[in-house]
Amino acid sequence: MSEQEPRDFIRQIIHDDLESGKHSEIVTRFPPEPNGYLHIGHVMSICLNFGVAAETGGRTFLRLDDTNPGKESPEYVDAIKRDVHWLGFDWEDRLTHASDYFGQLHDSAVRLIELGVAYVDSLSAEEIREHRGTLTEPGTNSPFRDRSVEENLDLFRRMHAGEFGDGEHVLRAKIDMASPNMNMRDPAVYRIRHIPHQNAGDEWCIYPMYDFAHGLSDAYEGITHSLCTLEFEDHRPLYDWFLDQLQPEHRPRQIEFSRLNLAYAITSKRKLSALVEEGIVNGWDDPRMPTIAGMRRRGYPPAAMREFVKRAGVTKKDKLIEMGALETCVRDTLGDVAERRMAVLRPLKVVLTNYPEGQVETMEAMNHPANPEMGTREMPFSRELWIEQDDFMEEAPRKFFRLKPGGEVRLRFGYIIKCDEVIKNDAGEVVELRCSYDPDTRSGTGSSDRKVKGTIHWVSCEHAIDATVRLYDRLFTEANPNAASDFHSVLNPNSLETISARLEPALGELAAGQAVQFERLGYFCADEKDDADEARVINRIVTLRDSWAKLEKQAMQKQG
């Protein structure tokens, strides 16, 4: 182990367990239920489980926790595997399912009956609920609680053989109907469900309950530290109870940490699934979704997501983290590596009246202002150009250093131009600017060292590539949409804006999965599903932060 202080309480425990010799190897698992796609909260759990094992030379299982047939599907299994890999983790040969252990789990249930600590109850679900009591009142024993071991074994065998319908009987642990912890009031261990299973097919008609299956699966795999979220804290006594009764060879320890919640997003699979099913978003991988698949398609690099959960940290305190914190990680990751390009999102035409018709010059543009070793590309410059509508103002305030009537601005890697005339349509909207360029001011080679305050980006009309650009905003208008009684009421109606933009020619070569910075606008990538060579579809990954934009502007002014 390194000499560094462990960075959170779980790593501290693991550190201590290795020091004391309690364990010689750390074994963890990430146990998603395949009933939906993984989301940003899961990223935290994945990074923690795979992280602590990798840091100590241990092993991690990817275990599909599939004890709930009917809600689970192979589509979700495939998505989970793809997403964990993409995040940068490898389970090697340790892909398992809770359902792989159905045989052993069944035998362990039989063992509980033989030990006299489990019984078959024949009350209806409704009656069981009534017997359970409340937080303030103890429950009452079921009239079937004292069945003999023989009778329980026989009934459980017949449950297994398919002699009964769903809900007719249930196997329960015999613990304490008066326990202040509701989870200990004779919880269900096995129930009858006549439905096929996503992995086990129709081999079984009885299925183990989560609390029973989870701890034992941990034990079978030799998990040393079973890391889960705080809502399982009250289940820990039950987790330990099963292990106490059955005394498996390996004894895992459950440790809870707080869930990661992202502001303006939901991380409930049930609600995410509703967004998909109701067509509010375009699938689980819609770039507005807080799913791993959505964020991948949006263009978030996996390193940024790992960094985000690292910064969030592992604690016992509930956290609602700003979307801005995630976006900062995305920018930090892309800033040094994404090449710069020019694109005009809301085009306004500029005609350079003194530039020869038909002439095309080739401008050399740097791919990265701070990393000259990332090279240059060529940008054609001609008489008609697109600039950003925002970069022109007819009635501009004094401090507006972009284009205004009679004013001058530098075109990045090009010339200084002056706005001579504003052309409007019948509705009074500005549709074109007539400008003149100063031929002595060509970037880098200009004979004049004339300076102007503003520099703007541009694209040559004749050479531009048309593209559909998707601008994303948060899906919800409330920081904590989970708190809303109905999440539909806090949906952001403007979470997606689709515009048609003009790109510089080099963006014709933009590779799938490659992120670039559109200068002054943000980071962008081609959409992994809808983009095609003949019709580019581009996602905005994230805007530039203000301070970043300022730095970029300074760099641009220095270079001209």
Q: Which DSSP symbol is given to 544?
A: P
Per CB under 6 A, which region of 12-20, 41-49, 388-396, 481-489 contacts ligand ATP?
41-49
Q: Which DSSP symbol is given to 558?
A: H
Examine the residue annotation and report whether 33 is marked as an active-site residue of this protein. Answer: yes
Q: Identify which of 283, 289, 285 has the alpha carbon closest to the alpha carbon of residue 476.
A: 289
- The torsion region of residue 532 among left (phi > 0), alpha (psi -120 to 50) and beta comes to beta
Any contact of residue 267 with ligand ATP (CB under 6 A)? yes
Nearer residue to ligand ATP within complex by CB, 259 or 346 = 259
* Active-site annotation holder among 33, 151, 432, 478: 33
| Identity of residue 224 | T
Measured from the CB of residue 54, what is the shortest distance to ligand ATP in angstroms? 18
Judged by CB under 6 A, the number of residues near ligand ATP is 14
Which residue among 18, 44, 275, 326 contacts ligand ATP (CB under 6 A)?
Answer: 44
Any contact of residue 97 with ligand ATP (CB under 6 A)? no
The pair of three-digit structure tokens given for residue 451, joined into one six-digit string: 């300076």
Site for ligand ATP in 216-235 (CB under 6 A): 228-229
Any contact of residue 259 with ligand ATP (CB under 6 A)? yes
Any contact of residue 481 with ligand ATP (CB under 6 A)? no
Q: Other C-beta atoms within 10 Å of 245: how many?
A: 16
Place of tokens 């541009």: 458
Any contact of residue 321 with ligand ATP (CB under 6 A)? no
Q: Residue 209 burial by CB count (10 A; 0-12/13-18/19+): exposed, middle or buried?
A: buried
Per CB under 6 A, which region of 262-270, 366-374, 394-402, 415-423 contacts ligand ATP?
262-270
Any contact of residue 269 with ligand ATP (CB under 6 A)? yes
Task: With beta carbons less than 8 A apart as the criterion, state whether 66 and 97 touch.
Answer: yes
- N-terminal to C-terminal alpha carbon distance within the chain: 51
Nearer residue to ligand ATP within complex by CB, 60 or 267 = 267
Measured from the CB of residue 41, what is the shortest distance to ligand ATP in angstroms? 2
Per CB under 6 A, which region of 25-33, 141-149, 295-303, 474-482 contacts ligand ATP?
25-33
Any contact of residue 8 with ligand ATP (CB under 6 A)? no
Q: Residue 305 burial by CB count (10 A; 0-12/13-18/19+): exposed, middle or buried?
A: buried
Q: Residue 61 burial by CB count (10 A; 0-12/13-18/19+): exposed, middle or buried?
A: buried
Measured from the CB of residue 260, what is the shortest distance to ligand ATP in angstroms? 4
Q: Which CA distances in Å does 462 have to 28, 357, 380, 538? A: 58, 12, 9, 21
For 81-229, strand residue ranges (E) read 95-97, 118-121, 170-173, 188-192, 206-208, 225-229
Examine the residue annotation and report whether 269 is marked as an active-site residue of this protein. Answer: yes
Q: Identify which of 413, 415, 391, 414 has the alpha carbon closest to the alpha carbon of residue 404.
A: 391
How far apart are the C-alpha atoms of 467 and 503, rounded to whole Å?
A: 7
Site for ligand ATP in 142-181 (CB under 6 A): none
Residue 398's contacts (CB-CB under 8 Å, 6 or more residues apart) are: none
Q: Identify which of 305, 304, 303, 283 has the alpha carbon closest to the alpha carbon of residue 294.
A: 283
How far apart are the C-alpha atoms of 335 and 369, rounded to whole Å?
A: 11
Task: With beta carbons less than 8 A apart as the criterion, state whether 260 and 316 touch.
Answer: no
Residue nearest to ligand ATP (CB): 41
* Active-site annotation holder among 132, 145, 259, 418: 259
Which residue among 10, 26, 28, 45 contacts ligand ATP (CB under 6 A)?
Answer: 45
| Identity of residue 294 | G
Any contact of residue 522 with ligand ATP (CB under 6 A)? no
Nearer residue to ligand ATP within complex by CB, 316 or 550 = 316
Taking residues 301 to 320 in sequence order and writing x for each that binds ligand ATP by CB under 6 A, - otherwise, the string is --------------------
Backbone angles phi, psi at 400, to 5 degrees: -85, 110
Task: With beta carbons less than 8 A apart as the criterion, state whether 223 and 65 touch.
Answer: no
Longest CA pairwise span in the chain (Å)? 102
Any contact of residue 252 with ligand ATP (CB under 6 A)? no
Measured from the CB of residue 309, what is the shortest distance to ligand ATP in angstroms? 9
Per CB under 6 A, which region of 267-275, 364-372, 424-432, 508-516 contacts ligand ATP?
267-275
Measured from the CB of residue 457, what is the shortest distance to ligand ATP in angstroms? 39
Per CB under 6 A, which region of 114-122, 266-274, 423-431, 510-518 contacts ligand ATP?
266-274
* Active-site annotation holder among 172, 269, 340, 410: 269
Examine the residue annotation and report whether 497 is marked as an active-site residue of this protein. Answer: no
Which residue among 10, 28, 41, 386 contacts ligand ATP (CB under 6 A)?
Answer: 41
Any contact of residue 32 with ligand ATP (CB under 6 A)? yes
How far apart are the C-alpha atoms of 329 and 306, rounded to whole Å?
A: 9
Measured from the CB of residue 67, what is the shortest distance to ligand ATP in angstroms? 11
Measured from the CB of residue 232, what is the shortest distance to ligand ATP in angstroms? 7
Any contact of residue 260 with ligand ATP (CB under 6 A)? yes
Task: With beta carbons less than 8 A apart as the criterion, state whether 193 and 209 touch.
Answer: no
Catalytic residues: 33, 259, 269
Task: Give the residues lining the site for ligand ATP (CB under 6 A).
Answer: 31-33, 41-42, 44-45, 228-229, 259-260, 267-269
